[in-house]
Chain A
Amino acid sequence: MKPSVLVDVTVQIVFPAALVLSLYFLFAGHNQPGGGFVGGLVAGAALALRYVARGYPAVQAVVPVPPPVVAGIGLLVALGTAAVPLVLGDEVLESAKAAPELPVLGTVNLTSALVFDTGVYLVVVGLVMAVLDAFGGEPPEASS
């Protein structure tokens, strides 16, 4: 794949923005359109952009963890959110809410569902990375 300056520069600009957008989706998702799944997809798309510009090493540079580990951690986080209420004597996946006052952000509505959503986010990101890793090798000579 030949590096292209135009693509390279565009990705440099778009990638951070897309990541921020994906985090916004993740955190705002409980009240606004968004959520962990969409956030994960956007982050995945952002990583795919990096991949298009510079290949898989550029993806690895951002996330220096193997894709299955990312997805696995995500699943563990989600499972943990499911299990913690059991330990505390509630139903499985019971959610808890809190609304602390934070210095800059003001009143922030937090729910334990956000943690669960983070798990979903990580699973999706991990899977996109895994696909990029698996199918993202050099194309075969046969079709080039």
Chain B
Amino acid sequence: MLVAVAALVARAPEVVDGEVLTESWTWVEGLGLTVDLRLDGFGLLMALLVSGIGLLVAVYAVGYFGHHASGLGRLSGPLVLFAGAMLGLVLADHLLVLYVCWELTSVTSYLLIGWDDRNASSRGAALQAIIVTGAGGLCLLGGLVLLGQSAGTYRLSELLADPPSGTTVSVALVLVLLGALTKSAQVPFSFWLPGAMAAPTPISAYLHSATMVKAGVYLVARLAPAFADVGVWRPVVVVVGLATMLVGGLRALVQHDLKLLLAHGTVSQLGFLVVLFGIGLPEATAAGVALLLAHALFKAALFMVVGIVDHQAHTRDLRALRGLGPGWWPVLGVAVASAASMAAVPLLFGFIAKEKAYDALLHGPGWAGVTLVVVVAGSVLTVGYSARFVWGLLATDKPAVPDVPGSSAPVTSAPPPPTGFALPAQVLTVPTVVLGVLPFLADGIVGAAAAALDPAVGDVHLKLWHGLNAALALSALTLGLGATVFLVGGRLAETAARLPLLAPSSVGFARSLRALNRVADRTTSVVQSGSLPAYLGIIVLVVALVPALAFAADPSWSGWPPLVDRPAHLAVSVLVVAGAAAAAALRRRFAAVLALGVVGYAMALLFVVEGAPDLALTQFAIETLSVVLFVLVLRFLPDRFEPSRLPRRRAVRLGVAAVVGVTVTAATLVATGSRTSEPIAAGFVERSVPEGGGRNVVNVILVDFRALDTMGEITVLLVAAVGSLTLAGSAATYLRRREPGGGRARLAPSTRAEDQP
């Protein structure tokens, strides 16, 4: 990651000047799939965040885990894979490459949330996260394919330069939005993110605040300038974003766990970002870039602080924390500065970003005013929970800890962390403060990023002091109201959080999972009846009826093929018919198997007559072996077929047999007479000796021309055999255990009464 940061910094000046770096490798040539990477201003900003914060988190994790914690390999592997996938995501210029990286981040996130694999709740949280983001990912795939097809290109840059339109595109955008909004934990899918806090804090700081959850925001930001006016994009994005902002803020106000407070705060901020980027106004886009940067800086630092406190004081409960004792100011300073940046207190970078956002919405069209009101309300909540965070960390006089499960004993002091542990958070705070005082330093990168998204964005000038204007007044109002919200206490928020609208949507999630399970159960009990005759009947009916329907739709009859070529055919036919009739009529299983064997040998004879010695040989060998194997299995079954007691069942079986017989016969007759293309055999015969080095063309086909097929076949054969033998073995063991003293078990006893010819 150090290399990545160095490489990015080295190329940064060019990119900030508006240059675009591209790389392209061919991936799957036949599908026209190429790995196109493209580094523009926004890509640079995201890539710097991903690799820079990744580097700091790696350093931080050393302090968090120490060198000897177990399972670190399981943690660092997916972490590095995630960093790579996330870099790929923000640099991808091909929709499908972007999608692959997107899913890779979901999968690695799953592995990292569930890292504590002995803890059922963390496994559950991981599963919940991957189900939500995975379902969103599937929608995204559908949307991207629709977009790519209607645009005629899968190159993101080409797509954005020349956006398609129409109903298909509107549908595609809804699907893409579903993907983006689930990934970025927007209402009503926001519940997975607080659950994801089951991950170790370094992971939460990296994936679930600074990088992965921004993937949805990233996609919205990329697409908004081109598509904000298409279909339902703007209403959906703005409404969902605003709702998320409010709900996240309210929930954050009632949390007692500092980490959960930050998680709900992240949800709220993500909503804000989605609004700013999704609204599709150039000014708002620029503000969104600034806020994105500010959020990554302060939120990662705050998570690190919570991790440090948790590590040193062994609690994250803000009711239990009553001051941390001496030596903590380097950490608490970081916390206060970052939280203040979150609350948009002047002289910090968060303030610059929020001013910019207010300013953009103030100068937007009429409906932006409504948006602005809600954004201010959301920001008031942000100030409220920021204050709650600082209070929880610093205050020493708090009400007694209620005696409820999950709360911990009060802590009044803890050993301060070693310097190296606190260093990454401090490094992150430096730009928060410096850019807050000297915001023009960020002009270059923010301007380049915004211009890369939307060329309509002119030069960006971030300023601390804009003069006495409406935005400043709003900022003051926000801070004042926020302080009030904090002082009035969580009571207001607690009441609000009880509203049914704000009930945790994880309840709905659990309910829908249960419903899905019920549907699956019912479907299984219908589809998998356990009756062999039913399975067999369905299989043969499908085999018979599908070709029959195809023929009925387009009937063509080219006359009867020659029925009997030579006398030998007649003799063989008599054998086949006699064998088949005997197999159907005989009541003893063993005799029926032998009669089937007669059919098989007669077929082999037919091959001999037709001059196909290889086929005949194989048929003979197969037939012999199958009789032997049949005998082996038959020993586990009763000697005779039991005659059916139900006449109706007999009638059904006769009907199935008749339908299958008639259609297969008809299909054979039709197919024989309707060859349209040249047989491929001639070509194979010609090439057999020169290319395959063998005179037996059948074998040359098997082991040379079509060797890949053979390879697949023997693999499938082996896999199927392993599967069925394992099943047979475990069934036998199971039955043996159930019938102690019963000696050897019968295989599959449930099929006995049903098993009839």
Among B60-68, B152-160, B328-336, B738-746, which stretch is in contact with chain A? B738-746
**Please, what's the 1-or-0 string for A98-136, where 1 marks a CB less than 8 Å from any CB in chain B?**
000000000001010110110110010011101110111
Any chain B CB within 8 A of the CB of A4? no
- Chain B residues near A32: list those with CB within 8 A: 695-696
- Chain B residues near A131: list those with CB within 8 A: 629, 632, 721, 725
CB < 8 Å: which of A38, A117, A132, A139 contacts B617?
Answer: A38
Any chain B CB within 8 A of the CB of A42? yes
Question: Closest residue of chain B to A141, judged by CB?
Answer: B743
Among B12-20, B23-31, B134-142, B699-707, which stretch is in contact with chain A? B699-707
B599-615 residues at the A interface, CB under 8 angstroms: 613-614
Q: From residue B523, how far is it (CB to closest CB) to chain A in Å? A: 31
CB < 8 Å: which of B629, B637, B692, B721 contacts A71?
Answer: B721
Given A37-B618, A45-B628, A48-B625: A143 in contact with B699 (beta carbons within 8 A): no
CB < 8 Å: which of B636, B696, B725, B728 contacts A143?
Answer: B636
The residue among B703, B717, B729, B744 with the most chain A CB atoms within 10 A of its own CB is: B703
Question: Within the assembled complex, what's the spacing in Å between the Cα atoms of A41 and B625?
Answer: 7
Among B85-93, B430-438, B708-716, which stretch is in contact with chain A? B708-716
Interface contact B703-A143, CB-CB below 8 Å: no
Interface contact B703-A134, CB-CB below 8 Å: no
- Chain B residues near A68: list those with CB within 8 A: 722
Interface contact A135-B745, CB-CB below 8 Å: no
Any chain A CB within 8 A of the CB of B638? yes
Given A35-B702, A68-B722, A142-B746: A30 in contact with B696 (beta carbons within 8 A): yes
Q: From residue A68, how far is it (CB to closest CB) to chain B in Å? A: 7
- Chain B residues near A119: list those with CB within 8 A: 714
Any chain B CB within 8 A of the CB of A78? yes
Interface contact A45-B624, CB-CB below 8 Å: yes
Interface contact A143-B638, CB-CB below 8 Å: yes
Interface contact A45-B637, CB-CB below 8 Å: no
Given A130-B721, A135-B728, A138-B744: A29 in contact with B625 (beta carbons within 8 A): no
Question: Within the assembled complex, what's the spacing in Å between the Cα atoms of A77 and B700?
Answer: 18
CB < 8 Å: which of B621, B703, B715 contacts A45?
Answer: B621
- Chain A residues near B694: list those with CB within 8 A: 29-31, 109, 111, 113
- Chain B residues near A92: list those with CB within 8 A: 708
Given A41-B618, A123-B718: A134 in contact with B728 (beta carbons within 8 A): yes
- Chain B residues near A41: list those with CB within 8 A: 618, 621-622, 624-625
**Please, what's the 1-or-0 string for A49-71, where 1 marks a CB less than 8 Å from any CB in chain B?**
00010000000000000001001
Question: Within the assembled complex, what's the spacing in Å between the Cα atoms of A36 and B637?
Answer: 33
The residue among B618, B629, B639, B707 with the most chain A CB atoms within 10 A of its own CB is: B707
Q: Is the interface of B mostly helix, strand, loop or mixed?
A: helix
Any chain B CB within 8 A of the CB of A19? no
Question: Within the assembled complex, what's the spacing in Å between the Cα atoms of A143 and B380?
Answer: 81
Question: Within the assembled complex, what's the spacing in Å between the Cα atoms of A93 and B706?
Answer: 9
Given A128-B625, A139-B636: A34 in contact with B696 (beta carbons within 8 A): yes
Question: Closest residue of chain B to A113, judged by CB?
Answer: B703
Any chain A CB within 8 A of the CB of B226? no
Any chain A CB within 8 A of the CB of B643? no
Question: Closest residue of chain A to B715, judged by CB?
Answer: A75
Any chain A CB within 8 A of the CB of B588? no
Interface contact A30-B721, CB-CB below 8 Å: no
Any chain B CB within 8 A of the CB of A97? yes
Question: Within the assembled complex, what's the spacing in Å between the Cα atoms of A127 and B722?
Answer: 9
**Please, what's the 1-or-0 string for A1-40, where 1 marks a CB less than 8 Å from any CB in chain B?**
0000000000000000000000001000111111111100
CB < 8 Å: which of B617, B622, B715 contacts A33?
Answer: B617
Interface contact B693-A35, CB-CB below 8 Å: no
- Chain B residues near A120: list those with CB within 8 A: 702-703, 710, 714
The residue among A71, A131, A135 with the most chain B CB atoms within 10 A of its own CB is: A135
Q: From residue B476, how far is it (CB to closest CB) to chain A in Å? A: 70
Interface contact B699-A30, CB-CB below 8 Å: yes
Any chain A CB within 8 A of the CB of B650? no
Question: Closest residue of chain B to A136, judged by CB?
Answer: B632
Question: Closest residue of chain B to A79, judged by CB?
Answer: B711
Interface contact B707-A113, CB-CB below 8 Å: yes
Any chain B CB within 8 A of the CB of A137? yes
- Chain A residues near B613: list those with CB within 8 A: 33
Interface contact B621-A123, CB-CB below 8 Å: no
Question: Within the assembled complex, what's the spacing in Å between the Cα atoms of A95 and B698?
Answer: 16
Any chain B CB within 8 A of the CB of A82? yes
Any chain B CB within 8 A of the CB of A140? yes
Any chain A CB within 8 A of the CB of B633? yes
Interface contact B614-A95, CB-CB below 8 Å: no
Question: Closest residue of chain A to B629, judged by CB?
Answer: A131
**Please, what's the 1-or-0 string for B181-207, where 1 marks a CB less than 8 Å from any CB in chain A?**
000000000000000000000000000
6 contacts between A and B (CB under 8 A): A34-B696, A41-B622, A42-B621, A71-B718, A134-B728, A143-B639
> Which residues on A are within 8 Å of B, measured CB to CB?
25, 29-38, 41-42, 44-45, 48, 52, 68, 71-72, 74-75, 78-79, 82, 92-93, 95, 97, 109, 111, 113-114, 116-117, 119-120, 123, 126-128, 130-132, 134-143
Shortest Cβ-Cβ A-B pairs, 5 listed: A30-B694, A41-B621, A139-B635, A33-B613, A113-B703
New A-B contacts (19) at CB < 8 Å, excluding given A71-B721, A117-B702? A30-B696, A35-B699, A38-B617, A45-B621, A45-B625, A48-B629, A71-B718, A78-B710, A79-B711, A95-B692, A109-B693, A113-B700, A120-B702, A120-B714, A130-B721, A137-B744, A140-B743, A142-B638, A142-B746
